[in-house]
Every structure is written in structure tokens, then in C-alpha cells.
């Protein structure tokens, strides 16, 4: 008798429904626990637990142990250093980790977008669970990165499927969108002391341009990035108030520092001028990089790097040039790049060329019009 057991007559077991309910139960349970931890100990502690859970369940597949790091030092001025990492799994970050077509009973929303929660469940076989966050007036979900570039690398994505770009049909609408982005970025940054937060615009390092998201990671102990060092030097040279225009760097950046309200005011004024200057061109993009001042939740440093989305790649690097690269940490992932790193063919000057080649055209001229 090899008959297989069959369902009792009349039972209507629906595996898709079972798995969906199960996912919701796990997600609700984990979110309850994380909420309590955040209330008692802050958001970094909650994300630390989320990371541990996602490692335990096998969603995070890389603990950075495969990553090799290099220092690319200026040949005659050793104070100037870019850093580089060889991260062979970078290319697997999104598509490689999950399944590409939905099972019976589920559908691929928004073209199978990797940041839509409805897709994440089946794409990641139910093991990727995010932490629901209310940020200002909007809902977000914090997802751990399965192939991190940095410690505690988290993607904080809008709950709804909305585009990454801030450019709208009119300068007024664009300004309003970027204001919201800035508000949310600073809100999250204030809740994440010790972290660096990024907004990478479309064509400025955003890997999923269809779905709005920020990236955050924990700053490696003692690491000062090249752009930050250049900003410190520039700040010491001028005795003027905000903002600080950083020209002595391969890609120009504006640095806003101080209390949140001042930064928002200054950055909005600056961004409005820039957006109007280009009549809200669809090609406009940007990197914004934020961090909270230690010990003070209401003081920030914010870098704004004007970008053009038609200049998203640079010769000499296979991956996109996003906020981390702009900060001074290059991410290389191909075998050919590794060979060039090891042999010294990729050096300090290579990084200068990479960053210079993604500067938005016209930025210098624009800066001259506002600050000769
Ligand atoms: Zn989406």
C-alpha cells in the first residue's frame, strides 16, 4: 500500500494563503519586538537585532568577510587618501538573491520591484522581513542588505512604490519633493547616531530607481572619508557661514552644517536656485549624504552633490557611482578590477578621474553665478 495521504474531503488548504498568513505573523511578531527595542534603546539597537535575525534566518548571506579593502594614498601628500573595497558579491545585491517569477496565487507588482513588500515575500521565500518605520508623515520599511557594502547596511524604502527621482514637471513641485526627501533623511539621521545616511538620485547610484529609498550604514570605527576630510580643511580656510562650497575635490559638493532648521533653510534655498537655473530639467539628480553630530541629535552635516542622471557611470569602474563613492570609498566587483587594484593600476589618480567624470556639467558655472 503506497497510497499517499490525501486531504480530508472538504478541506480547502491553500498553500499561498498559508504562506502569506505565516509571513504576516512572523513580520508582526518581529516588528513588535523591534518596536519595544527602539522605544527602550533607540533605532540603532532595533536595527542591530533585525540584522541578527536576518543573518540567523539566512537572508543576509555575506558578513563582509569576503571584502578586501585598500587605501589609495596621494603620492606626494599622504594626508589625502581614498579607500577602495573589492566586493565580488556586489553584483548579486538584488536580482541574484531571490526568485524571479511569482508562485501560483501571487503576482509580481510593479514589474517585480525588489522593494515592494508584496514582492519581497515571495522573491525572498518568506525570510526577508523588514521593520516598519514612520518617518515624518510617511511610511517606510527598513530592509537589511543581503550583500552589504558596509557594517549594518540597511535600505530604508518607502512603503509605497514611488519613484526615486525628485524632479517633477515644475520647479515648484521639484522643490517640494526635495524638501520632503531632506526632511525624511534628516529625521532618520537624527534617529541613527553613528550612521551615515544617503539619498542617491536616479542616475546617481540608485540601484532601484522605480522605488524611493535611502541607504544607511554604520560608520566603520575611526573612518574619516576623503570628502569629509576635504570639507574640514575647507572649513578651516574660510571664515564664512554656511554653506561651504567644496571645490578642491574631484567632484564639487556643498556642505551644510549646523542645527536642523538652519540646514533645511539653507539647503532648500540653494537647491531652489539650482533647480530653477536648469528649469527643473529631467536630467537633474543628486547625492545627499547626512550624519548627525555626535552627542547632539539636532546638529547635522549634510553634503549635497549635484548630479546629472546622464552621467551615472565612469570609465574605470564597472559599478554605478553613488554616494559612497562620492564620499571617497570606491566599490569594485569584477575580477579585472581586482587585478588592477592588486597591481596598483587603480591608484589615487584613478579615483580622481572617476569622480571628476560624473560631475554634472555646468556645476562650476552655476556655482560662479551664486558665489563668484
Ligand atoms: Zn516598488
CA of 100 to the centre of ligand 1 (A): 15
Q: In what order do the strands lie in the sheet with 195-200?
A: 131-135, 138-144, 154-158, 213-218, 195-200, 284-292, 299-308, 253-259, 244-246
Q: Tell me the CA–centroid distance for residue 280 and ligand 1, in Å.
A: 25
**CA 213 to centroid of ligand 1, rounded, Å:** 10
- Does an H or E element contain 330, and which? strand 329-332
CA atoms of 105 and 17, how far apart (whole Å): 8
Residue 340 parent element (H or E) = helix 335-342
118 alpha carbon – ligand 1 mean position (Å): 9
CA of 7 to the centre of ligand 1 (A): 37
- Do residues 255 and 231 touch, judged by C-beta distance below 8 A? yes
Interatomic CA distance for residues 234 and 200, integer angstroms: 24
State in Å: Cα 168 to ligand 1 middle: 19
pLDDT computed for residue 362 by the predictor: 87
Question: Has residue 14 been placed in a domain?
Answer: no
**CA-closest candidate to residue 304, choices 329, 326, 278:** 326
How many structural domains are present in the chain?
1
Residues 317, 85: Cα–Cα separation, whole Å: 12
Question: pTM value?
Answer: 0.93
Cα 119 to ligand 1 centroid, rounded to whole Å: 8
Taking each helix axis from N to C end, the angle separating 260-277 and 171-191, rounded to the nearest 10 degrees, works out to: 150
Question: Could you tell me the distance, in angstroms and rounded to a whole number, from the CA of residue 123 to the centre of ligand 1?
Answer: 13
Q: Cell 569576503, residue? A: 66
- Please give the Cα distance from 30 to 127 (Å, whole number): 12
pLDDT computed for residue 93 by the predictor: 56
Render 137-149 in DSSP notation, one character per residue: TEEEEEEE-SS-S
Question: Please, which contacts does 130-138 make with residues 24 or more away whose CB atoms are closer than 8 Å?
Answer: 130/27, 130/50, 131/30, 131/31, 131/34, 131/46, 131/47, 131/50, 132/31, 132/159, 133/43, 133/188, 135/184, 135/187, 135/188, 136/180, 136/183, 136/184, 136/187, 138/180, 138/184
364 domain-assigned: yes
- 168 falls within a domain: yes
CB 66 within 8 A of CB 147: no
CATH number at residue 312: 3.30.428.70
Q: Residues 302, 289: contact at Cβ < 8 Å?
A: yes
Centre a 10 Å sphere on the Cβ of residue 204 and count the other Cβ atoms it contains. Answer: 30
Distance in Å, CA 114 to ligand 1 centroid: 6
Spacing, Cα 360 to ligand 1 middle (Å): 27
Distance 117 CA to ligand 1 centre (A): 8
How far away, in angstroms, is 210 Cα from ligand 1 center? 6
Please give the backbone phi and psi of residue 173, each rounded to the nearest 5 degrees, phi first.
Answer: -70, -35
- For residue 113, the CA-to-ligand 1 centroid distance in Å is 5
According to the model, what pLDDT value does residue 304 have?
95
* Dihedral class, residue 42 (left if φ above 0, else alpha if ψ from -120 to 50, else beta): left
Return averaged pLDDT per consecutive 10 residues of the chain, 372 residues in all: 52 89 97 98 98 94 83 93 90 65 91 94 95 96 93 97 88 86 96 97 90 96 94 82 86 94 90 82 91 86 93 87 96 93 95 95 85 55
What is the distance in A from the centroid of ligand 1 to the CA of 74? Answer: 42
Give the per-residue pLDDT at 336. 93
The reply to whether 127 falls in a domain is yes
335 grid coordinates: 575580477
How far apart (Å, rounded) are the C-alpha atoms in residues 179 and 158?
16
> Backbone phi, then psi, for 64, in 5-degree steps?
75, 0
Residue 15 lies in a domain: no
* pLDDT at position 170: 80
Instruction: Annotate 134-187 with DSSP letters as a single string.
Output: EETTEEEEEEE-SS-SSTT-EEEEESS---S----SSHHHHHHHHHHHHHHHHH
Cα separation, 43 vs 133, in Å, equals: 10
Structural element, H or E, at residue 83: strand 81-86
Residue 277's domain comprises 20-370
pLDDT at 240: 62
In a domain, 272, yes or no: yes
The set of residues, in sequence order, having a beta carbon less than 8 Å from that of 176 and lying 6+ positions away, is 168
How many angstroms is it from 298 CA to the middle of ligand 1? 31
- Residue 281 counted as domain residue: yes
Kindly give the distance from the C-alpha atom of residue 19 to the centroid of ligand 1, in angstroms, as a whole number.
Answer: 21
Q: 116 CA distance to ligand 1 centroid (A)? A: 4
CA 66 to ligand 1 center in whole angstroms: 29
Max CA pair span of the chain: 90
Distance 221 CA to ligand 1 centre (A): 33
Rounded to 10 deg, the angle between the 43-56 and 15-41 helix axes is 140
C-alpha 88 – ligand 1 centre gap (Å) = 26
Q: Is residue 2 part of a domain?
A: no
- Output the CA 153–ligand 1 centroid distance in Å: 19
Amino acid at each position: 500500500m503506497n497510497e499517499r495521504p490525501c486531504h480530508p474531503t472538504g478541506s480547502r488548504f491553500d498553500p499561498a494563503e498559508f504562506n502569506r498568513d505565516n509571513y504576516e505573523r512572523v513580520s508582526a511578531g518581529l516588528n513588535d519586538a523591534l518596536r519595544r527595542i527602539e522605544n527602550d534603546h533607540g533605532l540603532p539597537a532595533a536595527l542591530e537585532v533585525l540584522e541578527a535575525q536576518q543573518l540567523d534566518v539566512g537572508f543576509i548571506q555575506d558578513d563582509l568577510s569576503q571584502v578586501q579593502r585598500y587605501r589609495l594614498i596621494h603620492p606626494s601628500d599622504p594626508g589625502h587618501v581614498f579607500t577602495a573595497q573589492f566586493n565580488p558579491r556586489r553584483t548579486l545585491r538584488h536580482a541574484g538573491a531571490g526568485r524571479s517569477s511569482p508562485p501560483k496565487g501571487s503576482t509580481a507588482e510593479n514589474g517585480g520591484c525588489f522593494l515592494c513588500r508584496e514582492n519581497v515575500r515571495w522573491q525572498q521565500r518568506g525570510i526577508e522581513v523588514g521593520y516598519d518605520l514612520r518617518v515624518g508623515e510617511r511610511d517606510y520599511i527598513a530592509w537589511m542588505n543581503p550583500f552589504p557594502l558596509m557594517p549594518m547596511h540597511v535600505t530604508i524604502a518607502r512603503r509605497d512604490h514611488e519613484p526615486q527621482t525628485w524632479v517633477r514637471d515644475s520647479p515648484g513641485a521639484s522643490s517640494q519633493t526635495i524638501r520632503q526627501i531632506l526632511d525624511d533623511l534628516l529625521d532618520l539621521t537624527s534617529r541613527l547616531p553613528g550612521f551615515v545616511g544617503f539619498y542617491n538620485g536616479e542616475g546617481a547610484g540608485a540601484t532601484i530607481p522605480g522605488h524611493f529609498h535611502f541607504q544607511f550604514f554604520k560608520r566603520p570605527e575611526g573612518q574619516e572619508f576623503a570628502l569629509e576630510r576635504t570639507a574640514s580643511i575647507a572649513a578651516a580656510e574660510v571664515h564664512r557661514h554656511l554653506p561651504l562650497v567644496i571645490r578642491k575635490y574631484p567632484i564639487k559638493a556643498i556642505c551644510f552644517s549646523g542645527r536642523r532648521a538652519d540646514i533645511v533653510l539653507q539647503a532648500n534655498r540653494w537647491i531652489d536656485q539650482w533647480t530653477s537655473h536648469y528649469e527643473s530639467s529631467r536630467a537633474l539628480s543628486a547625492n545627499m549624504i547626512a550624519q548627525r553630530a555626535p552627542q547632539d541629535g539636532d546638529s547635522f552635516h549634510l553634503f549635497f552633490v549635484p548630479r546629472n542622471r546622464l552621467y551615472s557611470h565612469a570609465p574605470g569602474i564597472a559599478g554605478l557611482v553613488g554616494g559612497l563613492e562620492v564620499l571617497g570609498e570606491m566599490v569594485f566587483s569584477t575580477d579585472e578590477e581586482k587585478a588592477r587594484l592588486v597591481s596598483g593600476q587603480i591608484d589615487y589618480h584613478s579615483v580622481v578621474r572617476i569622480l571628476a567624470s560624473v560631475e554634472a556639467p555646468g556645476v562650476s558655472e552655476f556655482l560662479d553665478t551664486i558665489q563668484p
